[in-house]
Chains A and B, each alone.
Chain A
């Protein structure tokens, strides 16, 4: 590991399996993943057995485990892309890296394979700078620094709780956008990591993320499930919702969120027009979601991530619940999740 003081055993790589044959995925990532412990969580709606190649230190969890640990009525929380949250819940490592199973390692502009795990860990273990924007981006990167005019008192930075990576090839566009530009693929490698400023809202995609489970774990949560939620990212909003919560909590607790490197290469999959025909409730809901999160105020007494989630859940129930049943269900799911987290998520012993 190129980062000082971080042991490989501090990291869990958690993959939500929405397809059964993970052979090619795992082989593509082998050189990067093989030295870490992996948790693979199978979508409870997936019936086939998972195919996983040899040579990995991996624990696999499926519906039966979920039923056993949280009960079959609650395990519905983990359907589809949300299956990974079960992994987040039971992991006992400090750092989690989670990547969608249709992504493979990208190559940088020089043609070298990007070690996404290494970059995520670097992002998480160097400070974030949310209170003042540095025009040369991440000042802790080699060859960069704080620019003239950056106050010295802010140069220590704060802890980075979340690292959001990006995607080459199939970018994380919504269905209408991709449908309008069916041939558009992202080929621009932007060589930067930056802290997203405090109080700035952002759409946090779940495709390629890493976080400090110890400080922010409970805030990544399965809550917003669209009525027509499907098995393609175009048909979900769960990560966007979760990400809005994470950003609010980080802003409140004085922690940072970084965005930018690392890139992963996202394989072409699905048909945006088909997804659009089926589901664009998510796009409409964001119009309510954004003003809500803009107005959320967390009390000073909310000093932990759990406290913050409880407060947000209350506000969701009160303000958004009446607007659409999907929000009322989200508020419930959030409360449910915190109970689960308190019972099972904390503690040092693995389940």
Chain B
């Protein structure tokens, strides 16, 4: 029986690594009570809250947190017509937070995710682990059977070529979930009582050329290295699909990371996922995705980017062209999505112009 950490106030003194270089992006439609549990770990950091749904509702942020909050009105005001690329009534709207952030690193977490406990009962500082993952190299070109070789107590195994032991920069750190696992609707319906109680004490690099389903519940990334690829697509209100936002971002991100020689890690840290969403509601949202992913996956598996695409933006625009070319025939939705991908990059570049000056980054103003 797995349980969340109940009292994190007693958590050992936290040294907030990258305190001024990392933003925590949280999409929400209800409330942010969950932040109380995370306070010892999150309080030193700046939060970007993206409020989905009715903008006239007030979202209360617990005292003591430094944050900026954006609702739909803000998104429309800031992006103008380009706001069309940001989803409404879906947590995909969180990627707006990535765009307005001025920091190098992003950590994003869902508002139904709590602090988990490791097997010894100690509360897990998920943010700290993500930072460790991101600050140490990845090893996508050769699989290490003892997992992350840079972890204390581990190393490269016999046979691992020395020329590959420096690794490459880590762009993404993908964490996991105890209690309610991230299953799709059909699996949830078949196994409504299954809980993830297995703590797998590993972090590993996903090999180059291999795709994976990226979940946005507990995710960190280097915004400078891969930010523009983290577009969470057109989901929710007015769209034929939902619950594929993070999947879409993950497939685009992995293809681009593979092309640019960047690494993606998965494994620790765990968070405690408390809410199982309604599987019937989920099924309706995912339904088309379940069929479409059979076409989408081979598309991404076969996608290649030309050598002259050397920036994330160029790679992403190129991908959008290929999406339009190859996936439009699956459904006209992909045509719209391809356009939205371009809009996203335009908006990203507008809000993140290449800066000449290396001034200290300040937090953005809502």
Q: Which residues of A are at the interface with B, using a C-beta cutoff of 8 A? A: 109, 132-137, 141, 143-154, 164, 166, 171-174, 177, 181, 184, 186-192, 196-205, 233-234, 237, 240, 243, 259, 283, 286-287, 289-290
B155 and A181 within 8 A (CB): yes
Of B49-57, B62-70, B140-148, B227-235, the stretch lying at the interface with chain A is B140-148
Query: How distant is B65 from chain A, measured CB to nearest CB, in Å?
Result: 30
A151 and B297 within 8 A (CB): yes
Of B176, B187, B294, which one neighbours A151 at CB under 8 angstroms?
A: B294
Given A173-B158, A200-B209, A205-B157, also A143-B196 (CB < 8 A): yes
A133 and B206 within 8 A (CB): yes
Query: How distant is A120 from chain B, measured CB to nearest CB, in Å?
Result: 15
Report chain A residues within 8 Å CB of B158.
172-174, 177, 203, 205, 233-234, 240
Alpha-carbon separation in the docked complex, A204 to B294 (Å): 32
Given A202-B142, A205-B157, also A197-B187 (CB < 8 A): no
Report chain A residues within 8 Å CB of B80.
none
B156 and A177 within 8 A (CB): yes
Report chain B residues within 8 Å CB of A243.
159
Of A135, A192, A240, which one neighbours B213 at CB under 8 angstroms?
A: A135
Query: How distant is A144 from chain B, measured CB to nearest CB, in Å?
Result: 7
B159 and A152 within 8 A (CB): no
Return the chain B residue nearest A239 by Cβ.
B159
1/0 per residue B198-216: CB within 8 Å of A?
Answer: 1111100011111111110
Of B26-34, B81-89, B243-251, the stretch lying at the interface with chain A is B243-251
Report chain B residues within 8 Å CB of A189.
201
Of A172, A199, A287, A289, which one neighbours B157 at CB under 8 angstroms?
A: A172
Query: How distant is A107 from chain B, measured CB to nearest CB, in Å?
Result: 15
A133 and B162 within 8 A (CB): no
Query: How distant is B346 from chain A, measured CB to nearest CB, in Å?
Result: 27
1/0 per residue B157-185: CB within 8 Å of A?
Answer: 11111111000000000101000011110
Given A135-B176, A135-B266, also A144-B159 (CB < 8 A): no
Q: List 19 A-B contacts (CB under 8 A).
A: A132-B212, A135-B174, A143-B197, A145-B194, A146-B187, A147-B181, A148-B187, A149-B244, A166-B145, A173-B157, A174-B160, A187-B153, A197-B209, A201-B141, A201-B143, A286-B160, A287-B162, A289-B161, A290-B161
Of A137, A171, A240, which one neighbours B159 at CB under 8 angstroms?
A: A240
Q: Could you tell me the dominant secondary structure of chain A's interface residues?
A: loop
Of B143, B176, B195, which one neighbours A202 at CB under 8 angstroms?
A: B143
Report chain A residues within 8 Å CB of B212.
132-135
Q: Which residues of B are at the interface with A, using a C-beta cutoff of 8 A? A: 119, 141-147, 153-164, 174, 176, 181-184, 187, 191, 194-202, 206-215, 243-244, 246-247, 250, 266, 286, 290, 293-294, 297
Alpha-carbon separation in the docked complex, A145 to B188 (Å): 10
Return the chain B residue nearest A181 by Cβ.
B155
Query: How distant is B156 from chain A, measured CB to nearest CB, in Å?
Result: 6
10 nearest CB pairs, A to B = A149-B213, A203-B159, A200-B207, A240-B159, A202-B143, A197-B210, A133-B212, A174-B158, A148-B184, A149-B247
Alpha-carbon separation in the docked complex, A287 to B266 (Å): 27
Query: How distant is A229 from chain B, measured CB to nearest CB, in Å?
Result: 13
Query: How distant is B104 from chain A, measured CB to nearest CB, in Å?
Result: 25
A200 and B143 within 8 A (CB): yes
Alpha-carbon separation in the docked complex, A71 to B195 (Å): 58
Query: How distant is A196 from chain B, measured CB to nearest CB, in Å?
Result: 5
A191 and B198 within 8 A (CB): yes
Given A148-B182, A203-B145, A203-B158, also A132-B297 (CB < 8 A): yes
Report chain A residues within 8 Å CB of B144.
202-203
Report chain A residues within 8 Å CB of B181.
136, 144-145, 147
Given A133-B206, A203-B160, also A184-B155 (CB < 8 A): yes
Report chain B residues within 8 Å CB of A164.
145
Query: How distant is A102 from chain B, measured CB to nearest CB, in Å?
Result: 15
Of A144, A197, A202, which one neighbours B196 at CB under 8 angstroms?
A: A144
Query: How distant is A138 from chain B, measured CB to nearest CB, in Å?
Result: 10
Report chain B residues within 8 Å CB of A203.
142-145, 157-160
Return the chain A residue nearest B200 by Cβ.
A192
Report chain B residues within 8 Å CB of A134.
212-213
Of A135, A145, A177, which one neighbours B191 at CB under 8 angstroms?
A: A145
Report chain B residues within 8 Å CB of A196.
143, 207
Alpha-carbon separation in the docked complex, A135 to B211 (Å): 10
Report chain B residues within 8 Å CB of A191.
198-201
Chain A CB within 10 Å, residue with most, of B147, B164, B195: B147
B209 and A199 within 8 A (CB): yes
Return the chain B residue nearest A259 by Cβ.
B145
Report chain B residues within 8 Å CB of A181.
155
Return the chain A residue nearest B295 by Cβ.
A151
A144 and B154 within 8 A (CB): no
B119 and A147 within 8 A (CB): no
Alpha-carbon separation in the docked complex, A141 to B194 (Å): 12
Return the chain B residue nearest A174 by Cβ.
B158
Report chain B residues within 8 Å CB of A199.
207, 209-210
Given A135-B213, A137-B200, A147-B183, also A202-B250 (CB < 8 A): no
Report chain A residues within 8 Å CB of B244.
149
Return the chain B residue nearest A109 by Cβ.
B119
B154 and A188 within 8 A (CB): yes
